[in-house]
Amino acid sequence: MSDLSYDSPDTEIIRSNRKTVSLEIRADGHLRVRAPLRMSDAAIRNIIQSRAKWIEEHRANMLAKKAALSKAPPLTMEELRHLADEAVSYIPERVAYYAPKVGVSYGRITIRNQKSKWGSCSAKGNLNFNCLLMLTPPEVIDSVVVHELCHRKEMNHSARFYEEVLRVFPDYRRCEKWLKEHGPEILIRMTG
């Protein structure tokens, strides 16, 4: 078991202009501590020691989840083709439905087999979507569609961008959370 003490190489301390301390167990099992600039090393050590049980439980869960993900069977080429066919008939309908709600036009829609991205929007307004979206709930697909369409107004992830996303799709944060929690187990199944 790795050492997650203050001085451990498995522990990263980030000081910033903040008022509280946050602890995060990263996907690789390392501990990330975000602390106020003026908090003493001793105070950070005490927090880590007082939360040792929580840290170890979350670390064990994260590493178990990572191990389970590595056992997911890869999708066959036939399964990928089937997902792509489904996406080609389903996703453009959702784009056509949401584009007027966002108040934007769009260019070409492309369905891809991707290992990391769910969607993207080019400066010319062309939209790309991952065929693996078809393995997610319909509302999650809609959240990605709205996200990419909103890039037609804001080509960034600013507060204004997210205000627009939430205006059109108020349930966006829940769907975003679902993708963060379940997306890796879907993406890891991409063949090759």
Domain span at residue 49 reads 11-69
Based on the domain organization, do 81 and 141 belong to the same domain?
A: yes
Cα distance from N-terminal residue to C-terminal residue, the chain: 32
pTM, full prediction: 0.67
40 φ, ψ (degrees, to nearest 5): -70, 155
Are 124 and 105 in contact by the 8 Å Cβ rule? The answer is no
Residue 187 has pLDDT above 90, yes or no: no
Greatest mean pLDDT range, 24-33, 164-173, 181-190:
164-173
Q: Which two tokens stand for residue 15?
A: 């000081």
Based on the domain organization, do 117 and 183 belong to the same domain?
A: yes
Q: Which two tokens stand for residue 10?
A: 């498995």
Residues forming a β-bridge with 22: 34
Based on the domain organization, do 134 and 162 belong to the same domain?
A: yes
Q: How many domains does the chain have?
A: 2
